[in-house]
Amino acid sequence: MRADIFCRVVDNYGDIGVCWRLARRLAHGRGWQVRLWVDDLDAFARIEPGVQPALATQTLQNIAVRHWREPLTELDPGDVVIEAFACDPPAEFIAAMRATHPLWINLEYLSAEAWVESCHGLPSQQPSGLVKHFFFPGFTAATGGLIREPGLSAARDAWQADRPAQDEFLRRLGVPESVIARRHAGARLATLFCYPQAPAADLARGLAALPEGAILLVPQGVAPALDGVALSGLDIVRVPFVPQPDFDRLLWLADLNLVRGEDSFVRAAWAGRPFLWQIYPQQDAVHLTKLDAWLARYDLPAPARALMQAWNAAAATDVATLAGAALADGPWQAWENTAREWDKAQAALPDLGDTLADFCTDLSKTR
Ligand code: TRH
């Protein structure tokens, strides 16, 4: 199959984060010939340093990357055209699609809401005469699933068992030797990737109060309010933005991950360790409905649930106290257990790369 993937970077890194994973999954896992159109190569370069933002055309890891600038000059649609998050391919490309009739897929945002199952895979007649199919990621077998590369569990388990490799990795990120030593002495390691409104300083206080102390790794530019925070019991260490595979390894080695949006949320789940998810904020608090829909599927112990809700609340809550309760021995072990079980259950489902590829193959047979 030849596939075009269209990615418009609305904000942040989730749009390109998901598209880049999908491109690799289809190219490397299914042998598809993938051309990825991205309108913001600077954002792309932050998560994949091999990208040269000045180039209109480049090939990376066997994937053709194009700077999406209109009018497009390559008007030869592949067998499949995937638009991420309803971003609409440009009009001249759609005109070219009318001549070749590729499969047209809209890869939707992730949600745990029940209606997703009934909308997954539905066709939609377009004014152009073409048919677009909705493809929904999700957490059940009746959805398109989530991207999870084959061999992920084994690679993660090996990494989590390899303390010397983790130490070396942390050194490369600039984590001081004294902090690595504190980790060996039992301090809990957390990572923080959140939106600006997250009560990060409160959470830092909760971590600092842990009897064994804690370490918080924060990517440059995230939670700037933490720059003025100094707490005995907590080492706050700024780390650089890293390429996606290293980001995954960072999540795998931490005891607790604070993640956000869509892609880092899923990847934290794949760590099989406790995490706090800050959902992407939407108008009229629609996102809180989505958070509840996911919480209904994720069997969290009550203290962790209360912390997750407070972490996403608009109004101030005592996050430091809630963190202390959720991270105390008993609730923490229950939380770890939930994270492990959820990962195991999700690993048994087909991944989104395969479900999407199979969906397209089946659809092409009916035409
Ligand atoms: O950056 P985000 O807030 O992206 C958001 C969400 O996807 C949201 O749902 C969407 O509506 C909005 O974008 C437009 O969070 P997310 O989804 O976790 O994406 C971050 C990506 O950045 C993810 O692919 C991981 C990657 N990343 C790295 O590769 N290296 C890093 O060092 C860090 C911190 C992140």
Tokens of 343: 């990962």
**Residues catalogued as catalytic:** 15, 262
Work out how many domains the chain is built from and give that number: 2
Q: Which residue, judged by its Cα, is nearest atom 12 of ligand 1?
A: 14
127 and 208 co-located in one domain: no
Q: Which domain CATH number covers 319?
A: 3.40.50.2000
327 and 359 co-located in one domain: no
- Domain with 60, as residue range(s), is 2-146+350-366
Q: Which residue, judged by its Cα, is nearest atom 8 of ligand 1?
A: 261
Q: Can you list the positions of beta strands (E) in 193-294?
A: 214-219, 234-239, 256-260, 275-278
How far is the C-alpha of 97 from the C-alpha of 145, rounded, in Å?
Answer: 27
How far is the C-alpha of 300 from the C-alpha of 186, rounded, in Å?
Answer: 24
CA-based nearest residue to 185, from 193, 195, 177, 196 = 177
CA-based nearest residue to 275, from 261, 290, 293 = 261
How far is the C-alpha of 66 from the C-alpha of 268, rounded, in Å?
Answer: 29
Is there a contact between 267 and 248 (Cβ–Cβ < 8 Å)?
A: yes
β-pairing, 234-239 with 214-219? parallel
138 and 219 co-located in one domain: no
Mutational test site, ligand 1, from 10, 11, 13, 148, max ligand atoms within 8 Å of CB: 13
Q: Which residue, judged by its Cα, is nearest atom 18 of ligand 1?
A: 264
Q: How far is CA 201 from CA 180, 196, 261, 292, 324, in A?
A: 22, 11, 20, 24, 14
* The dihedral formed by the CA atoms of 352, 353, 359 and 360, expressed in degrees to the nearest 10: 150
CA-265 nearest atom, ligand 1: 18
Cα of 14 to ligand 1 centre, how many Å? 4
CA-279 nearest atom, ligand 1: 9
CA-244 nearest atom, ligand 1: 29
228 and 356 co-located in one domain: no
Is there a contact between 137 and 143 (Cβ–Cβ < 8 Å)?
A: yes
> Hey, is 83 helix, strand or coil?
strand
343 and 354 co-located in one domain: no
How far is the C-alpha of 325 from the C-alpha of 206, rounded, in Å?
Answer: 9
Cα of 364 to ligand 1 centre, how many Å? 32
How far is the C-alpha of 84 from the C-alpha of 3, rounded, in Å?
Answer: 13
Is there a contact between 281 and 195 (Cβ–Cβ < 8 Å)?
A: yes
How far is the C-alpha of 6 from the C-alpha of 36, rounded, in Å?
Answer: 6
141 and 168 co-located in one domain: no
208 and 264 co-located in one domain: yes
191 and 229 co-located in one domain: yes
53 and 89 co-located in one domain: yes
Give me the amino acid identity at 219: P
What's residue 316's pLDDT? Answer: 78
173 and 140 co-located in one domain: no
Tokens of 181: 């030593």
**Where does ligand 1 bind, in terms of residues with CB under 6 Å?**
10-15, 17, 47, 193, 219, 241-242, 244, 247, 260-264, 280
How far is the C-alpha of 87 from the C-alpha of 313, rounded, in Å?
Answer: 29
83 and 216 co-located in one domain: no
How far is the C-alpha of 364 from the C-alpha of 105, rounded, in Å?
Answer: 12
β-pairing, 256-260 with 63-67? unpaired
295 and 357 co-located in one domain: no
Mean pLDDT per segment of 10 residues, for the chain of length 367 residues?
Answer: 97 96 98 98 97 98 98 96 97 97 97 98 96 98 98 98 98 98 98 96 97 97 94 97 98 98 98 98 92 96 97 90 97 98 98 98 92
CA-243 nearest atom, ligand 1: 29
